[in-house]
Amino acid sequence: MDWIQFFGYFGSFLTSITFIPQVYKAWQSKSVGDLSTWMMLIVVLSTIVWLAYGFGINSGPVILANAIVLVLSLVLLYFKYIFKKDNAVSRAND
Amino acid sequence: MDWIQFFGYFGSFLTSITFIPQVYKAWQSKSVGDLSTWMMLIVVLSTIVWLAYGFGINSGPVILANAIVLVLSLVLLYFKYIFKKDNAVSRAND
Protein backbone atom coordinates (compact mmCIF):
# COMPACT_ATOMS: atom_id res chain seq x y z
CA MET A 1 0.00 0.00 0.00
CA ASP A 2 1.50 3.36 -0.99
CA TRP A 3 1.21 6.58 1.00
CA ILE A 4 -1.70 7.89 -1.04
CA GLN A 5 -3.76 4.78 -0.30
CA PHE A 6 -2.72 4.97 3.35
CA PHE A 7 -4.01 8.56 3.58
CA GLY A 8 -7.25 7.49 1.91
CA TYR A 9 -7.94 4.61 4.29
CA PHE A 10 -6.86 6.67 7.29
CA GLY A 11 -9.35 9.34 6.11
CA SER A 12 -12.06 6.66 5.85
CA PHE A 13 -11.26 5.52 9.38
CA LEU A 14 -11.41 9.07 10.79
CA THR A 15 -14.67 9.84 8.98
CA SER A 16 -16.21 6.65 10.37
CA ILE A 17 -15.19 7.36 13.96
CA THR A 18 -16.71 10.85 13.83
CA PHE A 19 -20.10 9.29 13.02
CA ILE A 20 -20.08 6.42 15.52
CA PRO A 21 -20.44 8.58 18.71
CA GLN A 22 -23.51 10.25 17.16
CA VAL A 23 -25.16 6.88 16.57
CA TYR A 24 -24.19 5.70 20.07
CA LYS A 25 -25.51 8.90 21.67
CA ALA A 26 -28.78 8.60 19.73
CA TRP A 27 -29.14 5.01 20.92
CA GLN A 28 -28.37 5.91 24.56
CA SER A 29 -30.66 8.94 24.67
CA LYS A 30 -33.32 7.18 22.59
CA SER A 31 -33.53 10.40 20.63
CA VAL A 32 -32.11 11.64 17.36
CA GLY A 33 -32.66 15.14 18.73
CA ASP A 34 -31.63 17.98 16.51
CA LEU A 35 -31.08 15.96 13.37
CA SER A 36 -33.87 16.72 10.91
CA THR A 37 -35.20 13.92 8.71
CA TRP A 38 -34.65 16.19 5.71
CA MET A 39 -30.98 16.67 6.62
CA MET A 40 -30.49 12.95 7.16
CA LEU A 41 -32.03 12.20 3.75
CA ILE A 42 -29.53 14.62 2.16
CA VAL A 43 -26.70 12.79 3.96
CA VAL A 44 -28.03 9.46 2.62
CA LEU A 45 -28.29 10.92 -0.90
CA SER A 46 -24.79 12.42 -0.68
CA THR A 47 -23.24 9.09 0.33
CA ILE A 48 -25.00 7.35 -2.59
CA VAL A 49 -23.68 10.01 -5.00
CA TRP A 50 -20.17 9.70 -3.50
CA LEU A 51 -20.39 5.91 -3.82
CA ALA A 52 -21.16 6.29 -7.54
CA TYR A 53 -18.14 8.61 -7.85
CA GLY A 54 -15.95 6.23 -5.79
CA PHE A 55 -16.82 3.29 -8.05
CA GLY A 56 -16.35 5.54 -11.11
CA ILE A 57 -12.79 6.50 -10.18
CA ASN A 58 -12.21 3.09 -8.55
CA SER A 59 -11.26 4.59 -5.18
CA GLY A 60 -11.37 2.07 -2.31
CA PRO A 61 -11.23 4.76 0.41
CA VAL A 62 -14.10 6.84 -1.07
CA ILE A 63 -16.22 3.68 -1.43
CA LEU A 64 -15.39 2.45 2.09
CA ALA A 65 -15.97 5.77 3.88
CA ASN A 66 -19.29 6.38 2.14
CA ALA A 67 -20.51 2.81 2.58
CA ILE A 68 -19.92 3.15 6.36
CA VAL A 69 -21.53 6.60 6.56
CA LEU A 70 -24.49 5.35 4.47
CA VAL A 71 -25.09 2.45 6.89
CA LEU A 72 -24.75 4.73 9.95
CA SER A 73 -27.14 7.35 8.52
CA LEU A 74 -29.68 4.65 7.69
CA VAL A 75 -29.35 3.46 11.32
CA LEU A 76 -30.00 7.06 12.51
CA LEU A 77 -33.03 7.33 10.20
CA TYR A 78 -34.31 4.02 11.62
CA PHE A 79 -33.77 5.34 15.19
CA LYS A 80 -35.65 8.50 14.25
CA TYR A 81 -38.56 6.36 13.10
CA ILE A 82 -38.67 3.93 16.06
CA PHE A 83 -38.00 6.52 18.80
CA LYS A 84 -40.66 8.87 17.43
CA LYS A 85 -43.11 5.99 17.43
CA ASP A 86 -42.18 5.06 21.04
CA ASN A 87 -42.60 8.65 22.19
CA ALA A 88 -45.96 8.92 20.46
CA VAL A 89 -47.12 5.72 22.20
CA SER A 90 -45.88 6.86 25.63
CA ARG A 91 -47.57 10.25 25.21
CA ALA A 92 -50.79 8.55 24.16
CA ASN A 93 -50.63 6.47 27.36
CA ASP A 94 -50.12 9.46 29.68
CA MET B 1 -17.30 16.96 -17.77
CA ASP B 2 -18.13 13.26 -17.76
CA TRP B 3 -20.69 11.55 -15.54
CA ILE B 4 -18.11 10.43 -13.00
CA GLN B 5 -16.90 14.01 -12.46
CA PHE B 6 -20.51 15.18 -12.30
CA PHE B 7 -21.25 12.69 -9.51
CA GLY B 8 -18.10 13.80 -7.69
CA TYR B 9 -18.96 17.50 -7.77
CA PHE B 10 -22.60 16.82 -6.96
CA GLY B 11 -21.35 14.83 -3.94
CA SER B 12 -19.15 17.78 -2.93
CA PHE B 13 -22.14 20.10 -3.19
CA LEU B 14 -24.36 17.82 -1.07
CA THR B 15 -21.66 17.34 1.57
CA SER B 16 -21.20 21.11 1.79
CA ILE B 17 -24.92 21.85 2.20
CA THR B 18 -25.22 19.33 5.06
CA PHE B 19 -22.59 21.30 7.03
CA ILE B 20 -23.84 24.84 6.36
CA PRO B 21 -27.05 24.61 8.50
CA GLN B 22 -24.93 23.44 11.45
CA VAL B 23 -22.70 26.51 11.16
CA TYR B 24 -25.74 28.78 10.73
CA LYS B 25 -27.50 27.23 13.73
CA ALA B 26 -24.35 27.61 15.87
CA TRP B 27 -24.13 31.27 14.85
CA GLN B 28 -27.82 31.93 15.57
CA SER B 29 -27.85 30.15 18.93
CA LYS B 30 -24.38 31.51 19.84
CA SER B 31 -23.62 27.97 20.96
CA VAL B 32 -21.84 25.02 19.45
CA GLY B 33 -23.84 22.90 21.87
CA ASP B 34 -23.27 19.19 21.72
CA LEU B 35 -20.21 19.27 19.50
CA SER B 36 -17.16 18.36 21.56
CA THR B 37 -13.86 20.11 20.82
CA TRP B 38 -12.25 16.67 20.61
CA MET B 39 -14.73 15.57 17.94
CA MET B 40 -14.26 18.78 15.96
CA LEU B 41 -10.48 18.32 16.03
CA ILE B 42 -10.95 14.81 14.59
CA VAL B 43 -13.14 16.29 11.82
CA VAL B 44 -10.41 18.87 11.07
CA LEU B 45 -7.75 16.12 11.04
CA SER B 46 -9.89 13.89 8.81
CA THR B 47 -10.41 16.66 6.24
CA ILE B 48 -6.63 17.32 6.15
CA VAL B 49 -5.97 13.60 5.61
CA TRP B 50 -8.66 13.46 2.89
CA LEU B 51 -7.13 16.56 1.26
CA ALA B 52 -3.74 14.78 1.11
CA TYR B 53 -5.49 11.79 -0.48
CA GLY B 54 -7.45 14.03 -2.89
CA PHE B 55 -4.25 15.72 -4.08
CA GLY B 56 -2.54 12.31 -4.26
CA ILE B 57 -5.16 10.84 -6.61
CA ASN B 58 -5.74 14.25 -8.22
CA SER B 59 -9.48 14.25 -7.47
CA GLY B 60 -11.10 17.69 -7.76
CA PRO B 61 -14.31 16.64 -5.93
CA VAL B 62 -12.46 15.10 -2.96
CA ILE B 63 -10.27 18.23 -2.67
CA LEU B 64 -13.24 20.61 -3.00
CA ALA B 65 -15.52 18.83 -0.51
CA ASN B 66 -12.81 18.55 2.12
CA ALA B 67 -11.57 22.11 1.65
CA ILE B 68 -15.13 23.37 2.30
CA VAL B 69 -15.68 21.07 5.29
CA LEU B 70 -12.26 22.06 6.69
CA VAL B 71 -13.15 25.78 6.52
CA LEU B 72 -16.60 25.16 8.07
CA SER B 73 -15.16 23.06 10.93
CA LEU B 74 -12.54 25.71 11.63
CA VAL B 75 -15.39 28.26 11.77
CA LEU B 76 -17.23 26.00 14.28
CA LEU B 77 -14.05 25.64 16.36
CA TYR B 78 -13.69 29.44 16.32
CA PHE B 79 -17.35 29.82 17.40
CA LYS B 80 -16.72 27.32 20.20
CA TYR B 81 -13.82 29.47 21.39
CA ILE B 82 -15.54 32.89 21.16
CA PHE B 83 -18.95 31.79 22.50
CA LYS B 84 -17.36 30.03 25.47
CA LYS B 85 -15.42 33.21 26.23
CA ASP B 86 -18.59 35.36 25.95
CA ASN B 87 -20.47 33.04 28.28
CA ALA B 88 -17.63 33.10 30.79
CA VAL B 89 -17.65 36.92 30.70
CA SER B 90 -21.43 37.18 31.06
CA ARG B 91 -21.37 34.74 33.98
CA ALA B 92 -18.56 36.72 35.62
CA ASN B 93 -20.72 39.87 35.31
CA ASP B 94 -23.83 38.30 36.88
**Tens-digit pLDDT profile for residues B21-73:** 888 888 888 887 666 788 889 999 999 999 999 999 999 999 999 999 999 99
**Which of A67, A1, A68, A21 minimizes the C-alpha distance to B42?**
A21
- Which one of B10, B18, B23, B46 would you mutate to disrupt binding with A, by most A Cβ within 10 Å of its Cβ? B46
Q: pTM here? A: 0.84
DSSP secondary structure code for residue A32 in this structure: -
What are the tens digits of pLDDT across the range A3-13? 999 999 999 99
Cβ contacts of B56 on chain A, cutoff 8 Å = 3-4, 7-8
* Chain A to chain B Cβ contacts (< 8 Å): 74
Where b means 16+ CB within 10 Å and e means fewer, A18-51 reads ebeebbeebeeeebbeebeeeebebbbbbbebbb
Indicate the fold that domain B3-89 takes in CATH. Answer: Monooxygenase (1.20.1280)
Cβ contacts of A45 on chain B, cutoff 8 Å = 14
Is this prediction's ipTM beyond 0.90?
Answer: no
Give A51's pLDDT tier (boundaries 50, 70, 90): very high
Residue of B3, B14, B42 with shortest CB distance to A17: B42
**B11–A50 C-beta distance less than 8 A:** yes
DSSP secondary structure code for residue B33 in this structure: T
How far is A89 from chain B, CA to nearest CA, in Å?
Answer: 27
Region B82-88 average pLDDT:
72
**A59–B59 C-beta distance less than 8 A:** yes
CB-count burial class (<10 Å; 0-12, 13-18, 19+) for B5: middle
Given this structure, which CATH class describes domain A3-92? mainly alpha
**A7–B49 C-beta distance less than 8 A:** yes
